[in-house]
Amino acid sequence: MRKAVVLAFLLLSVLLPISNADSDFQRPRSTSTEFSYSGDAEDVVLRGEWNWIEETPLSLNNGVWGVSLELQEGMYCYKFVVDDVWILDPLNSETTWCDGFENSLIRIDDKTKPKLSVESLSIDNNSFSASILYSGSTPDQVIATLDKGSGGISSTWNLADWSLDISANNLQDGKYRIRVSASDGEQNQAEDLLLPFWIEEQKFQWDDAVIYMIMTDRYINANTSNDPAPLSGAANGGDWLGGDIEGITSNLDNLQELGINTLWLSPLNQGPSHLEIAGDGEHQVAGYHGYWPVQPRTIDSRLGDEAQLNTLVDAAHSRGIRVMADMVLNHVHEDHPYYTDNPQWFNQGCLCGSSDCDWTERRLDCLFMPYMPDIDWRNRNASEQFISDAIWWAEQFNFDGMRLDAVKHVDDNAINNIAARISEKFEASGLRFYLKGETAMGWVDGSVADNREQYDTINRYMGEGGLDGQADFVLYHAVVDNVLTSANKGLIHLDYWTKQSQEEFTEGSIMVPYIGSHDVPRFISRADPDANGVWNQWQDLPTNTTNNTAFQRWEMAMAWLLTIPGAPLIYAGDEHAMVGGADPDNRRMFDESARDSDWVQYFAKARAELEPLRRGEYVQLTAEEDIMAFARQSEEEHVVVVLNRGGNSINLSAHQWLGNMSNYLGEIEWNGGVIEMDGVSAAIFVQTKQAPCPPLTLQVENTTGELADALPKEIDVFGIKLLATSGVMDDTLLHAAGIMAGYLDNDGDGKPDDQSVVDAMVAANAMMFIPRNENEMEQLFDIIPESFLIKVDSGEYQVQDLFEDEIRPGGKSGMGFDASLEEVLHLITHVGYVNAYPAVFSEMTGSELTNAMDLARGGHFEEDDASSCEDDEGQCAIPVQGYPQTAWYHYEDPTCDYACMATEYLYWGLTTYMGVQSERCEWISEEWEACTRYQLSVMDEGMFSLIEQSTLPRIAPDGEVCDSIVGDNHTLPEENNTTSEENNTNPEDNTTVPVDNNTGNGTSVEVESKSSGLMAESAKWVLLGLIGIVVGALVFTSRRRE
């Protein structure tokens, strides 16, 4: 149950007593039932249980055979007789059994009661609206209730057409459910109409699911008060261990951080209180797993109660996590009241696997164990009761899907009828209620044809009117048994059978691949060449894994699982490489100690971030015995995955359609498709994106006003000036302007993405100075009028400089980096965003930006006074004891104050998000550790969230515009014109020598050390010292990269 203080608000009902005094409108319910058949025939007759003897002919009208009948409330078998051949209704997936024959099933409700139906429904951003039609006799009242989720709803009754308009606005992210009820003047109650829906930034599809299977008793014990006393005689691992519902709730934040968005809970029904004999006929075990139910609608008190389960589901939904229940359809425990009160509901079959009782041939009536009566789904009363129970669980606890146990051991009609009733009850709003089946099959070492029976058996339960997906047993046995846990077969085999899973199952089905489950030994133990007792249950069991081969196999298997199509399943504990033998040893208490889950988190979050990994087509690229690559291709983009178990090198350059790509995880380089894995088990490559070119005309003009002599070239971008010296090439100036335009108009529509930011820059007189090099920058101060410097000093102008000799169009590598990507962005963020959104982007203590930066730096470190930032020997904003081990942003410039640190922090975060730093991981690591977008999402959630929720650009510009006018690359004659030789580099010692043009002598030498990853600087913005301007009046930040 929800907390009492919230309950009254959540259950906001709109109760509408209906007055029809001024309306003659009526919408009575039809009392007839329509039957139709489409197909070529000479004669079509309807025969039904209402009167088997009577033949009702259907009439042909516009190619469709049809007839209407008046039938009383109830359930009926029926069939069509088409040209003397009895057939099931092809348009009706529900069937049942009458007199030993399978028939189509129709349910006739009480037509004297009102009926509610959805006329229209819309979910847009944070709003919901729907129009509900009322049919029946004159309505008395209609009630709309928000019974799941937090917020309020409003409703309007339309007397003219007996419809109810429902709306809800300003909803927070999460799951909601509106319940609509109605009654007529005779107090006949309509069946409630349920309208579940989600409010979320990205609409979820079940292809997006990463499923986490939890055996509740073996997970986390958060409430010892419900722990049962030990059962005497229980075998090792066969007793209750104390995990509970509250334990799952307590770990939701960690699961969300791991990248889990769907929970599959083991059955929660009340189980027996005593031990039973295990399948080996010797050891005694308890029903801790939930698969021996003794009550239909009661939660086992050893696991929790209804209030705790509702709390868990609500808490999961608030985090965007779906929850699936596990329903046992094949059997109950012999203490179940359905068996004691209705023995005719159960088969009196043999024991599965015993003599003359094959598991497959007798799959529908054999008993798993003598104490587990097998349900007879051909018994209509039994069928309806178990379906009703499944609906109760789904409605009572607001589940999002169900896993159906032992599907092939129940009649086909059980699955079809459940699917039909679930859809009718929970999918009226268009929200998919996911039904996952367990049809245990194997794999034959041979061709696809050799495995036809395996695929077909699983397929028979899926498709229109059936299950949405199933566990992919064929793929598990084909590749987990033979490739991922062993070296029996190579990655060519892995690639081939992964592809077959995309082609052999029913179209539209969402299969569930897995590498471990509660029914098989733990993956890491199977993958360990040194492990003993992997298939043992009770003694001589696997111990902790130390063989590195096992962990390499585990890494590659997890990477494969989380990057292939389907809804991948992680069995709780496998993310930590838990060890274990066969059932029940594979169900040890949850343990995080074996290995951290970072590797799994990398790939689960990559799946969440990259749409092709969730929804894209599986495209085979290249496969060898020990290394392979495949692509996931969506409509607009593709991702490449490389798996490696020792091959190390793979060449994808022949697949030219892939284009230029960068490593999402940041360790391996694309290198034109010639990939060296360097022992890494897996890598993900994403397309290198550029912002669309803004459709702007950029013209190099002659500067006017007081800066015309010093900076005679000018380009205007949305009112922001970029000024250059006479020796700067027009192409260079245009490139810097194009970078500015690309940042401000990141969607390429010719208008600023955020006018407030541009307005703030224009109001602050933001501009860029572009001299040829640092020496020329110093010389400018002999030319710039003193009056302008005074204006800068007073804060009337905000200026950022950029040197031509560090502008390298297209450069994103360590030595050839295009500094315009950094310096232009500094001006935009420091002036535009700081002034437009100070609460978020202020560079002073307490903003969202600096709060995130304090976490990234491992604490709040600010200069005591400005004087400590005046020279290279000062402490400034650097921690006195050095940066903590937990820091991932650790800039060491002693002249960079706290605000400067914030400017740089935003630059690092945003350009990492854009993918600009992905080829510079080693070069930048001493200052900034996250070099890819994924690493940023994991390492710095504060920065990642700030970017996602802002109007900051998302794609790095390339400096191109769609309609730029390039000048003649001329230089204007100036008395002090400099013509420095640019980029005079020695490839052996990586030395850059800027040359003074008047003397021809080198004026400074900058030596780059690859080991440090940063450029040693001979001068750090001497400009600040020359004119004595503090940060904030003149931007001129001091971090430069070559």
Lowest mean per-residue pLDDT among 103-107, 303-307, 512-516, 776-780: 776-780
Q: What Rg do the C-alpha atoms of the chain give, in angstroms? A: 35
Judge whether residue 951 has pLDDT over 50. yes
Confidence of residue 1028 (pLDDT cuts 50, 70, 90): very low
Confidence of residue 524 (pLDDT cuts 50, 70, 90): very high
Contact 246, 304 (CB under 8 A): yes
User: Among candidates 894, 890, 887, which has minimal Cα distance to 927?
Assistant: 890
- Position 1016 scores a pLDDT of 26
Distance (Å, whole) CA 290 – CA 288: 6
- Position 921 scores a pLDDT of 84
Average pLDDT of the residues in 607-629: 96
- CA angle, 944 then 949 then 954, to 5°: 65
Average pLDDT of the residues in 175-191: 96
Q: Where are the alpha helices (DSSP H) in 120-234?
A: none
- How confident is the model over 337-372, as pLDDT tens digits? 999 999 999 999 899 999 999 998 899 999 999 999
Confidence of residue 646 (pLDDT cuts 50, 70, 90): very high
- Position 695 scores a pLDDT of 86
The domains found in the chain, sorted by start residue, are 4-25+113-199 (2.60.40), 32-108 (2.60.40.10), 206-525+558-612 (3.20.20.80), 616-682 (no CATH), 701-979+1014-1027 (no CATH)
The 3 state secondary structure assigned to 26-78 is CECCCCEEEEEEECCCCCEEEEECCEEEEEEECEEECCEEEEEEECCCEEEEE
Looking at the DSSP bridge assignments, the partners of residue 544 are: none
- Position 814 scores a pLDDT of 57
Distance (Å, whole) CA 462 – CA 468: 6
Distance (Å, whole) CA 958 – CA 497: 41
Q: With pLDDT > 90 as the criterion, what percentage of the chain qualifies?
A: 80
Average pLDDT of the chain to the nearest whole number: 89
- Position 20 scores a pLDDT of 56
Confidence of residue 689 (pLDDT cuts 50, 70, 90): confident
Structure tokens at 879: 């921690």
Confidence of residue 1034 (pLDDT cuts 50, 70, 90): very low
- CA angle, 973 then 975 then 981, to 5°: 75
Structure tokens at 555: 């890494």
Distance (Å, whole) CA 18 – CA 118: 19
223 vs 1036: which has the higher pLDDT:
223
What letter represents residue 365's amino acid? D
Average pLDDT of the residues in 735-740: 94
Lowest mean per-residue pLDDT among 710-719, 735-744, 972-981: 972-981
Structure tokens at 336: 């179940």
Average pLDDT of the residues in 714-726: 96
Average pLDDT of the residues in 321-335: 98
- How confident is the model over 885-944, as pLDDT tens digits? 999 999 999 999 999 999 999 999 999 998 888 878 888 999 999 988 878 988 999 999
Contact 547, 502 (CB under 8 A): no
Confidence of residue 390 (pLDDT cuts 50, 70, 90): very high
Letter string b/e over residues 638-648, b meaning 16 or more CB atoms within 10 A of that residue's CB? bbbbbbbbebe
Collapsing DSSP to helix, strand or coil, 631 comes out as strand
Lowest mean per-residue pLDDT among 475-489, 508-522, 586-600, 967-981: 967-981
User: Among candidates 658, 679, 659, 688, which has minimal Cα distance to 918?
Assistant: 688
- Position 982 scores a pLDDT of 35
- Position 1020 scores a pLDDT of 29
* Max Cα distance, the chain (Å): 114
- Position 697 scores a pLDDT of 85
- How confident is the model over 574-594, as pLDDT tens digits? 999 999 999 999 999 999 998
- Position 968 scores a pLDDT of 46
- How confident is the model over 411-430, as pLDDT tens digits? 989 999 999 999 999 999 99
- Position 399 scores a pLDDT of 98
The 3 state secondary structure assigned to 896-941 is CCHHHHHHHHHHHHHHHHHCCCCCCHHHHCCCECCCCHHHHHHHCH
Q: With pLDDT > 70 as the criterion, what percentage of the chain qualifies?
A: 90
Q: Identify the sign of the CA torsion 63, 69, 73, 76.
A: negative
